[in-house]
Copies of this chain bind each other. A is one copy, B any other.
């Protein structure tokens, strides 16, 4: 398949980085608009107050500006400098606040004194600012003026959905959260990879139907699941994408089932790269796999990341910026996803039409030189084509790459030795 350049992927992150996204609001809409310019994207607005599973869509939050200023007017913390400075869903205000009260609303990282943390208060009415810990020492005035020009009011939550129909109505789900403000790895990296994968899939023959979801984490996934409860049984394979741009090797978190085909595809791909130890068991914490893998749904959805959430020092801080994500890492993440998609598309059951004794390969020219498979891959393929082994099963049992078995099976099918099972 097509390779995508890391620079190309990084440019999406550059374009989207300045926008202040949240779980609702104009920043989220602008992000989805950017995506919609590149791939066919359907948008849904879900009104505040709508019941979605055990939850309720919150009011919409928008912010025009926010700062903390000395009474002299000098701004000491300003949302205009970095949208992480404002705790998300902070209530509007404009008043003079005594220093001690202010401090109880300031969040910082004593162990990483130069970084600004990322904080939210979606469901508890509150306000606050996030600052570098080093800033705190400089706040010696008796009182400060705090201005938050935000609006928290009934509105809606926006979902973006790109559906690429395939030969089958069975679906592959690719889900990315889009609610974080200026954080590059978490999750512009994954948005960039998803955009390009959707583009590439538009151009190829698709056995499966692909559904890309771009939406806020947790509440977005819950809203989508609430509205698509009758449809989720069509999802055969799914991946939550996040943190795909940092320098660590890729990792995979298994679905709750643990033995779904997607789990085996990802494991195979990582083990071929010598990174099988980066396959982690399911845990009910992380990103939206939590929702897809809740017990009522229990979908075959795993999570593809490089550094897992919470395991890198830049996580949820101002250090998760455009320098932190690397073009070569983005390109490598894309290539891995592409490899997994290729397995999803090409895995199938083959049945031998000549199962008694070995077929004579010599007279058929099936020794494989230069055809993407080697002779032993052909031998394994013919031996295991009993209607009980998929291409992946053959690859796992033989120790051969999936691609080599798939190529051998295709060649043997062309020679009339195998038939693809329905």
Residues of A that sit less than 8 Å from B by CB: 52-55, 123-124, 218, 221-222, 225-226, 229, 256, 283-285, 290-291, 293-298, 352, 354-360, 362-363, 376, 379-380, 382-386, 398
Contacts and interface: CB of A to CB of B under 8 A. Distances in A.
A350 to B, nearest CB: 11
A358 B294 contact: yes
A123 to B, nearest CB: 6
A382 B283 CA distance: 12
Contacts of A218: 358
9 contacts: A52-B357, A54-B357, A54-B359, A226-B356, A284-B358, A284-B380, A290-B358, A295-B384, A296-B352
A298 B386 contact: yes
Contacts of A256: 383
A259 to B, nearest CB: 14
Max count, chain B CB within 10 A of own CB: residue among A221, A298, A358 = A358
A293 B53 contact: no
Given A284-B382, A363-B123, A225 B356 contact: yes
A296 B351 CA distance: 10
A222 B295 CA distance: 47
B222 A357 contact: yes
Given A221-B357, A283-B380, A296-B355, 14 more contacts: A53-B354, A54-B358, A54-B360, A218-B358, A226-B357, A284-B380, A284-B382, A294-B355, A294-B356, A294-B382, A294-B383, A295-B355, A297-B356, A298-B386
A284 B54 contact: no
What 4 pairs across the A-B complex have the smallest Cβ distances?
A296-B355, A284-B383, A296-B356, A295-B386
A53 to B, nearest CB: 4
Contacts of A386: 295, 298
A382 B256 CA distance: 13
Contacts of A221: 357
A369 B382 CA distance: 54
Contacts of A383: 256, 284, 290, 293-295
Contacts of A297: 355-357
A204 B380 CA distance: 40
Contacts of A290: 358, 383
Max count, chain B CB within 10 A of own CB: residue among A283, A293, A383 = A383
Nearest to A380: B284
Contacts of A357: 52-55, 221-222, 225-226, 291, 294, 296-297
